[in-house]
Chains A and B, each alone.
Chain A
């Protein structure tokens, strides 16, 4: 039997035996509280951003206390990635990809710092401190002024220099599948 027919056979067998299974037999409902705790992603339109706020001055303190040991005093890089500078370098032979030169969305910076940094103790900064350190990194890149205060409404409005720099591949720029058509009312 060829691999494809083995696969097809496997899938057919699966369909024939699984139609009696319902979600009730597997798993349990997630509570609203659980979803709130785990639902940490932040979308470019700001969906997922928490309450709270932070400014550049506070952010400098947060950065010096928690980040500069690895990323350099002004985000110039060290043991870990450079976070500032590099504007205008992307089309040269030595591109420098940083938050300022390359990241298309400021919301992604909040999302990433909240989920992954500081590297040794991720998800330990308060939401206020996360807004603050994001404001500081954006200020290091001359994207927000020194008196900027970021919160859930101002952060998604920050326009990143490389906002239009990423071009989705045609294969995955518009996603369609046969389930969409099944769901459509006649």
Chain B
């Protein structure tokens, strides 16, 4: 393998010539030297040996950011409560498995699948224990869908820090392909009493996270007892060996390290649906069982802490809705005064992130850019003023107001409320 030093002399010369041209929006992994003439492109040669698993290029730097409560970052991973996906650096709509956002309430348990069991009981004909072999032998279903923590966006409830990236504001969402046993199959198999309307799902983590799942037709039809993620077994951080996956519903319902399903006829009122994941409104009441992730979108480039230059800039971002498919994304480059339709690039799957893009020529004057999405149920992402007027600023979870990025005369992009 050729060492990088072999071309060092030429690189140094080039770097000297190029001066300060780095730092543009979208320049994924900075630091590499430009090759303006084809004669500067390094010569070919034999490459590294093949390997059992492939690593990212050493020129690409992608990582999540472990965070604590809003505004506390970065934090030591041992006290982090979530880890946000670098959506400013991702392309397309699928999140690489190792970068899928992470959230847990008592760390990541180390579970031997041979010793993992799922107990199904309560209002059922047969109270059964399944092993992972049992579950893997059942019929399977795969589905590409987003998963979103209800805390996504919580940075901006009261104030907007100017020094945050879109990873900080919106990194608690990811899209993967999930594979497992259809929930409906297990419900039929064990003979769930038709009068059962709620199911408790409980994890094998240290805090035994447990949530009541309403047994609507939609959830019965779309729920998955998932053991696969992007073609391989779940990663431990995402629930290995088994998790519940409910497309479109708040992250915390998608119980990881799943080891118990109990069928009943009312909600169980666990801590995670009373003390947490309920949304305090301005009048002091809290919304409970606000389980669906609402229509949402964010421009990921240009976005917080990037810098752009006058002239052509491509705007791109991600849109999603727990109601269904994204039908339309509009963007504004004049602070929400006028809007035009962005192009939806790539697959438009229901309850999955959809990539959007739009051409834009920046005239160099300070402005604000915003996106707003509409789904196939005609839900429109609200502007911040309307959203806050309705909700107040104390809800902590389920923030889906439009995200505004301000651009100053130097092209610096900053997080603002609106």
Contacts and interface: CB of A to CB of B under 8 A. Distances in A.
Interface string B90-112: 00000000000000011000000
A172 B137 contact: no
Given A3-B350, A91-B284, A105-B269, A166 B208 contact: no
A12 B192 CA distance: 21
A41 B289 contact: no
Interface string A103-136: 1110110011001100100110000000000000
Interface string B104-141: 01100000000000011100001111110011011101
A44 B212 CA distance: 13
A1 interface: no
Contact of A108 (B142, B214, B274, B393): B274
Interface string B338-352: 000000000101100
A27 B126 CA distance: 10
B282 interface: yes
B291 interface: yes
A122 B106 contact: yes
Interface stretch (B24-32, B197-205, B402-410): B197-205
A17 B140 CA distance: 12
A177 B141 contact: no
**Range of interface residues on A (Cβ < 8 Å):** 35 or more
Contacts of B198: 175
A179 B216 contact: no
**Range of interface residues on B (Cβ < 8 Å):** 35 or more
Nearest to B131: A27
A3 B200 CA distance: 30
B288 A169 contact: yes
Given A104-B274, A167-B288, A7 B143 contact: yes
A168 to B, nearest CB: 5
Interface string A11-26: 1001001100111011
B270 interface: yes
Interface in B173-191: 182, 185, 187, 189-191
B121 A30 contact: yes
Interface of A: 3-4, 7, 10-11, 14, 17-18, 21-23, 25-30, 34-35, 38-41, 43-44, 90-91, 93, 95, 97, 99, 102-105, 107-108, 111-112, 115-116, 119, 122-123, 165-169, 171-173, 175-184
25 contacts: A14-B182, A21-B189, A23-B126, A27-B134, A28-B129, A29-B127, A30-B129, A41-B210, A41-B270, A90-B280, A90-B394, A91-B284, A102-B275, A104-B274, A107-B269, A112-B271, A166-B278, A166-B286, A167-B285, A167-B286, A175-B197, A175-B216, A179-B220, A182-B194, A183-B194
Given A108-B274, A172-B291, 4 more contacts: A40-B208, A41-B268, A165-B286, A168-B289
Interface of B: 105-106, 119-121, 126-131, 134-135, 137-139, 141-143, 182, 185, 187, 189-195, 197-198, 200, 202, 206-208, 210, 214-217, 220-221, 259-260, 262, 266, 268-271, 274-275, 278, 280, 282-292, 347, 349-350, 393-394
